[in-house]
Structure formats: C-alpha cells, structure tokens
Structure 1
Amino acid sequence: MQDKRFKIANREALIGIVLVVINFAIWFGFAYGLGSGNPTEYTYVFGFPAWFFYSCFAGTIFMIVLIWLAIKLFFKDIPFDDEEEHL
C-alpha cells in the first residue's frame, strides 16, 4: 500500500506547477502584450511603463494573494513520522 502522504505531496506539487504557469502567463501577457508597441506610445502607471507595472508589481501582488489562498484552501499539514493515523 502506498503512503497517503505521497498522494498529498503529488497533488500539492501539481498545484505549485499550476501556480508557476499562471505566474508566467501573467508576466508574459503583460510584458509582451502591452510592451510590444512603440515605446513612444507607452502609457505609464506610477512612473513605470504600464507593461512593467502590471507584469512586475501588480502581477507579483496578485500571485502572493493567489499563493496564500492556495495554501490556505488546498495544502494540508502532514506529519513526517511513519505513523499514518493523523491523515
């Protein structure tokens, strides 16, 4: 019988991979979506080009909140000892 902790760890690893893909998609979308135009036509947010602000600052804050929610909702504490009675 396989240890239940491996099933939990695999699920949490997949959640982590999904979060990384979301982070990359947000960064790439804003950086190359808004930043692909002519630099003279850029709009600015707090003195930064909009593509940079949204991809680096807003995207980071969004990801911190998303990761916090994922940890609170989907991750669970598991013991490292050999007893499975806590699961």
Structure 2
Amino acid sequence: MKETDWRFKVANREALIGVGLAIFNFIWWFGFAYGLGSRPVEEYTYIFGLPDWFFYSCVVGFLLMVVLVIVVVKFFFVEVPFDEEEDVR
C-alpha cells in the first residue's frame, strides 16, 4: 500500500483552515447585518455616516478578516515544494 504524500495532509489542513475562516466571516457578517440591521430605520445609529450594522458587518469585518488571514498565513501555513520527489529506496 502506497503511503499518502505528506503534502496532501498539509494542503488538507490548510484548506480546512480556509473554510473555517470563510465560515467565521459569514457568521460575523450575518450576525451584525441581520442582528443590528433588523431594527426599524429610525433606531439606527451611524458611524462615519454609515449605519452601525453596515459598519460592523462590512468595514470592521473586512479589516478583521484581513488581519486574521495575515496571521494564519504567517503562523499556520507552511511552504510546500511542488517538484516531484524521486522514489529513493
């Protein structure tokens, strides 16, 4: 039985981290957009001229995701060589 290449394990782990970040981003966006945005318009508060739900879901969410992606790539992703390894026996 041939052993799975270690690069597939690394790629699978990094793909799962990426999916986790995407799910976190959606939950963040959905929570603020529909949580704060479901109020009547008269009750909205504004930050820099934007409704608070939009500011937190889109502006702060975007900045948070940029920081999270940079941290994840810097500390959790590893460089993987793409050249074929010769079967040395």
TM-score by length of 1: 0.94
Q: Quote the residue 1:15 is aligned against.
A: 17
C-alpha distance in structure 1 between counterparts of 2:57 and 2:21, whole Å: 15
Aligned length: 84
Alignment of 1:64-83 (within 5 A): 64-83=66-85
Looking at structure 1, the residues matched to 8 and 65 of structure 2 have their Cα atoms a distance apart, in angstroms, of 26
For the aligned residue pairs, the C-alpha RMSD in angstroms reads 1.0
Which residue number in structure 2 is paired with residue 49 of structure 1?
A: 51
2:57, 2:85 → 1: CA distance? 44
Which residue is 1:34 aligned to?
36
| Runs of 4+ with deviation above 3 angstroms | none
TM-score by length of 2: 0.92
Among the aligned pairs, what percent are the same residue?
60
User: What 5-or-longer segments of structure 2 have no aligned partner?
Assistant: none
